[in-house]
Structure 1
């Protein structure tokens, strides 16, 4: 058993000055377009003009950041570059051609924000917001640290070795009670799980969070995280899991809506990625791992 990780001692960023409620995402260069479109939809539809919006950045260029600010419009937007010292905590953690080290930022958000209380909505960069997020900010969380879309999956229970009938969730959209998260020390617990149970984690950070929570989360209506093969009559957040909406491979029925919103961003005229793009990404990732990068 590895020694418990003293993650908080490693974080050296100054605390951000934020309001009690805010929306957060985390992105590296591969997901800048998605984050830009998401911010555009958040500004149009999210009803969060009075909420601080934070993008944690891993290796973004000045041009990338300029594009994100343009997409954010009237949002109270902060772009926060995560230091290499913090990111080194994720060295050796499982990654692949789809998920880079920046996914683990999701597991330490309350610590990075430096807040002791309040509520945050985490959105994966590959989401779009199509209705007000105000109901989430006002949701009664009943003492739970997290709310998310989920349910009982026998396959997930067996793979993660959880007790029968334990709920699991998709972590692409999370509502987090910061005080309760910190009280339960979930950041340290999740990172320890990732390090000690890596071989059993198929969805990496999401699996770690499901193991740490063991079903102790508030179940949200499906409208808050509409993924491929799911449906909601009145969706609020659409999530492009699997093939992304800027690809010819995408089968999500909301792809045309994503492309419609993209027309108002710097990527309006960018062609869709070909069938070969995913294979090339896998090859590049394999080469980088071979050379320890």
Structure 2
């Protein structure tokens, strides 16, 4: 794991914790914000949720979950959304996933640190050590490994590490200096055929392994065993579904008890098929 920096103390006022959602991920974002307020130690950081089509009720629920956090709900503009027009989506990932490729630009910040969290995460320990990690001059830090399958699919050099982009630590100045937003969007448009994980693949192609490694405790995915988890990530089936096999699902549901979704029934096994059908119909009729 990377060491903490020895330089001047980082002001949390210069830091951001960010996610981006449409209506399908409001519950997850609400539970994540609740855990961030309870466990994240980021009271002075700027917490931002980029919103695509949320209702007033959705936003009220998110504010309720955020407690004492310095929360901003930022509605994605038509100008921003036009950047994503025509980019690949599916029943799991909507156009809002591409927001993470342009976060420093959207925030208008020129420097500082940014933690991006997928909405389907929960925070179970302080994020301060993460914000203070020495990134060794890299624009991004993420959990990753060498995957021969990813290397082949993305046509990367042998031995290149690839990341999971569900948790990212971004050095805003370095990101902007390398013009990564433009580079990633160009990759998504020009190399769409080879992209299986869309925005994540674009980041991996753009960075070619040039990212700082994070310890797995910052992004604990399905079947991973970590003694001291800090951020748990519900990849695959979601924790509000009977299909979820993540060992931390009971913990998610425990935190959910303090949110507006406390009494909501778990989604049935056929829910994903309905989502796929709905997505196909939206594409068919131009929705």
Structures share a fold, TM > 0.5? Answer: yes
Residue 22 of structure 1: how far off its partner (Å): 1.3
Residue 270 of structure 1: how far off its partner (Å): 0.2
Q: Which residue of 1 aligns with 2:143?
A: 149
Cα distance per residue 1:124-172 (max 9 Å; x no partner): 0000000000001111111100000001111110110000000100000
Q: Secondary structure at the match of 1:79?
A: strand
Query: Which of 247, 262, 266 is equivalent to 1:268?
Result: 262
Residue 50 of structure 1: how far off its partner (Å): 1.1
Residue 83 of structure 1: how far off its partner (Å): 0.7
Q: TM-score, structure 1 length as denominator?
A: 0.93
Q: Which residue of 1 aligns with 2:194?
A: 200
Q: Secondary structure at the match of 2:83?
A: helix
Q: Which residue of 1 aligns with 2:281?
A: 287
Residue 26 of structure 1: how far off its partner (Å): 0.4
Structure 2 residue 101 is matched with structure 1 residue 83: no
Q: Which residue of 2 aligns with 1:101?
A: 95
Q: Which residue of 1 aligns with 2:65?
A: 71
Farther off after superposition, 80-89 or 164-173: 80-89
Q: Which residue of 2 aligns with 1:10?
A: none
Structure 2 Cα separation of the partners of residues 52 and 187 of structure 1: 21
Q: Secondary structure at the match of 1:264?
A: coil
Q: Which residue of 1 aligns with 2:167?
A: 173
Query: Which of 10, 17, 21 is equivalent to 1:23?
Result: 17
Cα distance per residue 1:249-279 (max 9 Å; x no partner): 0000000000000000000000000011100
Q: Can you give the 5+ residue segments of structure 2 that lack an aligned partner in the other structure?
A: 1-11
Alignment of 1:1-293 (within 5 A): 19-293=13-287
RMSD after superposition = 0.8
Structure 2 Cα separation of the partners of residues 195 and 282 of structure 1: 23
Q: Can you give the 5+ residue segments of structure 1 that lack an aligned partner in the other structure?
A: 1-17
Q: Secondary structure at the match of 1:244?
A: coil
Q: Secondary structure at the match of 2:36?
A: helix
Residue 19 of structure 1: how far off its partner (Å): 3.2
